[in-house]
Amino acid sequence: MQPEEKPAMFEPDAESMPAEQLTGLQLDRLRALVDRLLTADGTQGRRLKEAGVAAGADVNLATLARLPTAGKQDLWDSYPFGLLAVPRAEVVAVHGSSGTGGRPTLVSYSRADLKLWARMCARALAAAGATGESIVHNAYGYGLFTGGLGIHQGAIELGATVVPVSGGMTARQVTLIADLRPDILTCTPSYAVRLGEALAEAKLGPAQGLRLRAGLFGAEPWTDEMRAHIERLLGLRALDIYGLSEVIGPGVAAECYVAADGLHVNEDHFLVEALDPLTGQPVPDGTPGELTFSTLTKQAMPLLRYRTGDIASLRRGTCQCGRTLVKMSKVTGRKDDMLVVRGVNVYPSEIERVLLGHPAVLPDYALVIDERASQRRLIACCELGTAVPVPQHDVSSQLEADLKDALGVSVEVALLPPGSVPRTEVGKAVRVHHWPGGAPPVAGIG
Ligand code: DLL
């Protein structure tokens, strides 16, 4: 399939709804959500009452910013079932994440929520060109993590064939890909790199006839530079898929095969705002802000204005693919991912962009914060490919100059042989490592 061929939408009426009709639907659903929260009389309902909201009819889209927000702390405070808006017996599944801070976040789903989630993932798969004929190799982890089972249910909803391989055991994945010839690959972007390398080692890559059509990669931040690497390695169209357990899991937003330039937010179910992370006030479209979602139709654990900590910008208009849903840019980072290097704020994705923008650098990298001396050093560890014959010294000084230019602060670059940077086989890639003393977290740096 070529990008100019438009894959069929899973729910065209919703995905290409005229803006005015969509706004009307959102307002009705927002009011129903507010009514549900008031009836449930939990933390969110009480906050609404304190803000003077007595019924859904009191709220409007234009005054959304006046309504109270929710955050991860609310989930922790009410762990495990505190934010329920239905009786506990109506919960048919829980999912969650181990969380960036190590504290588990648990989320409850009713039967209707699971059905909604499957449809949202089916939308994402269809937007990537998957059909009822597709074979989906699903290498997201199965379990509490929403990646595996979310995509799984979505593939079934679409009528595709899902291969529930989960994460890890890469050699077995290579065999399954060689034998089943999937057209769709779903996994984290870092694992896509790992699989691409393993397929190349097994002489089963695109040059040997591997025919993957598209990949849906998400659950961790990745840049367009990483996209280019993955597309070369695997010979597919690499698309971004975004979501978080609190809101539903994967399928909150996804890129389309046609444009692949931002993720369509399923805003008929997940009303999105971008807020200034410090003031909490809405930022204009096109300006990076903290993504904040209201789950308009979720039943078991509905959230009003949930602040995600993820930074991205929003863009409206009709896409080449025909979707009218608002687009979010790639997530540039999380509020709490920001590194402070000698007083300068740096997001890991800015470093990734510079490193992977260099043709000689391979896609695996790690950032080490050397805390052994009082003046912390940031070391960007990356691997030098063998295909481009450039002297090592030229590459590292070029990268250091480019990083200084892009970030305004000095970052040391450690160029290592291929295979030196630790790979993530299961779960999300850990890019940032602290070095308080002892052996270095990445072998070969000093
Ligand atoms: O990561 C859900 C998911 C699974 C999304 C598979 C896409 C694919 P959590 O484990 O709750 O849920 O982590 C959510 O991961 O707040 C972001 O910080 C980050 N994240 C998720 N998708 C992306 C993405 C799943 N495409 C947290 N780009 C979110 C950047 C992402 N960050």
pLDDT of residue 374: 87
pTM of the predicted protein model: 0.96
Nearest CA owner, ligand 1 atom 20: 219
| pLDDT for 365 | 97
* Residue 308 in this model has a pLDDT that exceeds 70: yes
pLDDT at 101: 57
Which one of 145, 166, 244, 270 would you pick to mutate in the ligand 1 pocket, going by the greatest count of ligand atoms within 8 A of its CB? 244
How far is the C-alpha of 113 from the C-alpha of 297, rounded, in Å?
A: 8
- Cis amide linkage into residue 3, ω under 30° from 0: no
Mutate which of 149, 242, 252 to test ligand 1's pocket (most atoms within 8 Å of Cβ)? 242
Nearest to 266 by CA among 296, 223, 222, 308: 296
- What are the φ and ψ backbone dihedral angles of 11, each rounded to 5 degrees? -130, 75
Q: Tell me whether the CATH fold assigned to 1-335 matches the one assigned to 338-435.
A: no
User: What are 10's strand-pairing partners?
Assistant: none
- For the CA of 334, the nearest atom of ligand 1: 18
Ligand 1 centroid from CA 375, angstroms: 33
Among candidates 109, 385, 112, which has minimal Cα distance to 249? 109
For residues 338 and 281, which has the higher predicted lDDT (pLDDT)? 281
User: Which is it for the CA torsion 345, 347, 353, 358, positive or negative?
Assistant: positive
Mean pLDDT across the chain, nearest whole number? 95
CA 39 to chain centre: 32
Distance CA 100, CA 54 (A): 36
User: What CA–CA distance (Å, rounded) separates 295 from 277?
Assistant: 20
pLDDT at 386 over 90: no
Q: What is the dihedral of CA 180, 202, 226, 292, to 10 degrees?
A: 40
pLDDT digits (tens, 9 = 90+) for 246-279: 999 999 999 999 999 999 999 999 999 999 999 9
Strand 161-163 relative to strand 135-138, pairing? parallel
pLDDT category at 335 given cuts 50, 70, 90 is confident
pLDDT exceeds cutoff 70 at 337: yes
Nearest CA owner, ligand 1 atom 22: 219
Q: What is the pLDDT of residues 13-69, one digit of tens each?
A: 999 999 999 999 999 999 999 999 999 999 999 999 999 999 999 999 999 999 999
The top-level CATH class assigned to 1-335 is alpha beta
Distance 220 CA to ligand 1 centre (A): 5
CATH class, range 338-435: alpha beta
196 lines ligand 1 (CB under 6 A): no
Residue 414 has pLDDT above 80, yes or no: yes
Given this model, what pLDDT does residue 368 score?
97
Residues 6+ apart with CB under 8 A from 421: 364, 365, 366, 381, 382, 383, 442
Ligand 1: residue of 100, 108, 292, 331 to mutate (most ligand atoms within 8 A of CB) is: 331
- For residue 356 and ligand 1, the question of a CB distance below 6 A is answered with no
Residue 206 has pLDDT above 90, yes or no: yes
Check whether 182 has a pLDDT greater than 60.
Answer: yes
Q: How confident is the model at residue 102 (pLDDT cuts 50, 70, 90)?
A: low
Q: Where are the domains of the chain?
A: 1-335, 338-435
- Our answer on whether the CB atom of 310 is closer than 6 Å to any ligand 1 atom is yes
